[in-house]
């Protein structure tokens, strides 16, 4: 069976016990906000400048041991320049390598740079499973509580590490967070709880770990400070209802946001397309 299907089914039992997702029901607002990415957008293109991807280790104060993350620096990167940062989170079945192994972020971003469509940025891909053994081993769903604890690791260790080691612009206007599935829920949970730290927040096919809207954003007017709030999902995704409830709350309370429903299920073609679209709309 496709691993994405297994993950999708198991996600319905994450967090507070079994969660029953209703059948997918699309309304008149559940449609694409932007055209799909062009063919070949996620393929390595010859004859263009490329960014660099490295694996780094940092000391985690909240977990209590060294942890790994990946960092992408853009084509033409220079220590003499200052860069904004996108923190890009993986799903429950992955690690810090999941985006690189399955999402082709380097190819997507390199191609966008070559086409002049992207603001230069650093992309950090951390491990959202904040526990001593953070590998995706055994029953990965048993580690769901560690994803909740990642907020302390991100704010207290990852961001300070990146801002001490790289020439980044360390204010909210130059800091973004986005992710897929469990990482999409994390991005919404963390980003909307820390609007003083993030100006761009994106949830791609967010999982059931996404807080209910009243907890996610108890003071909707605060979200109007965001430069971009992005919520997206595939039109055949069994977790659609969790994104729809977030969207409905934002719409009801007049919070500016992007609601993008695209063709696809809980799969990588959707998340690659989301990265392509989201990345072009930040830091501009």
- Average pLDDT of 203-208? 98
Which alpha helices (H) appear in the chain, and where do they start and end? 3-11, 98, 105-114, 144-148, 150-153, 159-165, 182-193, 213-216, 240-252, 268-279
175-180 β-sheet, strand order: 52-59, 66-73, 122-126, 85-89, 175-180, 200-204, 228-234, 258-262
* 233 assigned to some structural domain: yes
Averaged over 219-225, what is the pLDDT? Answer: 96
Q: What DSSP state is assigned to residue 83? A: B
Rounded Cα gap, residues 61 and 114, in angstroms: 38
Kindly tell me if the per-residue pLDDT of 107 is higher than 80.
yes
- Residue 28, C-beta contacts closer than 8 angstroms, at least 6 positions apart: none
Residue 284 lies in a domain: no
**Mean pLDDT score of the chain:** 93
d(CA 173, CA 47): 33
Helix-, strand-, coil-residue percentages of the chain, each rounded to 5: 35, 20, 45
Q: What is the pLDDT of residue 141?
A: 79
Segment 164-168 shows an average pLDDT of 98
Q: How confident is the model at residue 84 (pLDDT cuts 50, 70, 90)?
A: very high
Residue 2: is its pLDDT beyond 50?
no
pLDDT of residue 14: 40
Average pLDDT over residues 245-263: 98
Residue 205, domain member (yes or no): yes
Please check the confidence at residue 4 and state whether its pLDDT lies above 70: no
Q: What is the pLDDT of residues 6-54, one digit of tens each?
A: 444 444 444 333 345 678 999 999 999 999 999 999 999 999 999 999 9
Confidence of residue 91 (pLDDT cuts 50, 70, 90): very high
Contact yes or no for 182/91 (Cβ under 8 A): yes
Predicted pLDDT at 20: 52
Q: How many CB atoms lie within 10 A of CB 221?
A: 10
Cα radius of gyration rounded to whole Å, the chain:
18
How do residues 112-123 score in pLDDT, each as one tens digit? 999 999 999 999
Residue 142 binned pLDDT confidence (cut-offs 50, 70, 90): confident
Cα–chain center distance at 128: 11
Q: Residue 6, SS3?
A: helix
In a domain, 111, yes or no: yes
Distance between CA atoms of 126 and 60, rounded to whole angstroms?
11
Number of domains comprising the chain: 1
Quick check: is 201 in a domain?
Answer: yes
Kindly tell me if the per-residue pLDDT of 264 is higher than 50: yes
* Long-range Cβ contacts of 212-217 (<8 Å, 24+ apart): 212/245, 213/245, 213/246, 213/248, 213/249, 213/250, 214/249, 216/188, 216/189, 216/192, 216/246, 216/249, 217/192, 217/249, 217/250, 217/253, 217/255
Model confidence at 197, pLDDT cuts 50, 70, 90, reads: very high
CB count within 10 Å of CB 111 equals 23
Q: What is the pLDDT of residues 147-163, one digit of tens each?
A: 899 999 999 999 999 99
Do residues 203 and 189 touch, judged by C-beta distance below 8 A?
no
Distance CA 131, CA 134 (A): 6
Distance CA 242, CA 22 (A): 10
Predicted pLDDT at 18: 39
Q: Domain range holding 253? A: 3-279
**CATH number of residue 52's parent domain:** 3.40.50.1820
Question: How many percent of the chain have pLDDT more than 70?
Answer: 93
């Amino acid at each position: 069976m496709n691993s994405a299907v297994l993950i999708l089914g198991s996600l319905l039992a994450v967090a507070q016990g079994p969660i029953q997702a209703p059948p997918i029901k699309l309304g008149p607002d559940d449609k694409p906000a932007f055209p799909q990415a062009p063919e070949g957008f996620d393929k390595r293109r010859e004859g263009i400048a490329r960014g660099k991807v490295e694996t780094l280790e940092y000391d985690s104060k909240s977990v209590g041991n060294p942890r790994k993350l990946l960092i992408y620096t853009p084509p033409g990167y220079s220590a003499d320049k200052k860069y904004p940062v996108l923190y890009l989170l993986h799903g429950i079945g992955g690690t810090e390598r999941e985006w690189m192994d399955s999402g082709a972020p380097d190819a997507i971003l390199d191609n966008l740079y070559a086409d002049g469509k992207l603001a230069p940025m650093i992309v950090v891909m951390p491990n959202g499973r904040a526990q001593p053994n953070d590998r995706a081993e055994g029953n990965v769903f048993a580690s769901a509580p560690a994803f909740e604890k990642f907020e302390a690791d991100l704010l207290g260790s990852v961001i300070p590490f990146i801002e001490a080691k790289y020439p980044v612009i360390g204010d909210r206007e130059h800091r973004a967070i986005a992710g897929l599935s469990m990482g999409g829920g994390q991005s919404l949970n963390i980003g909307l709880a820390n609007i003083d730290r993030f100006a761009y927040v994106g949830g791609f096919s967010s999982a059931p770990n996404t807080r209910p809207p009243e907890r996610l954003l108890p003071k909707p007017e605060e979200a109007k400070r965001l430069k971009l709030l992005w919520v997206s999902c595939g039109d055949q995704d069994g977790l659609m209802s969790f994104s729809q409830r977030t969207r409905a709350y934002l719409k009801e309370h007049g919070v500016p946001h992007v609601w993008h429903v695209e063709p696809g299920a809980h799969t990588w073609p959707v998340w690659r397309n989301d990265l392509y679209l989201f990345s072009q709309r930040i830091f501009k």
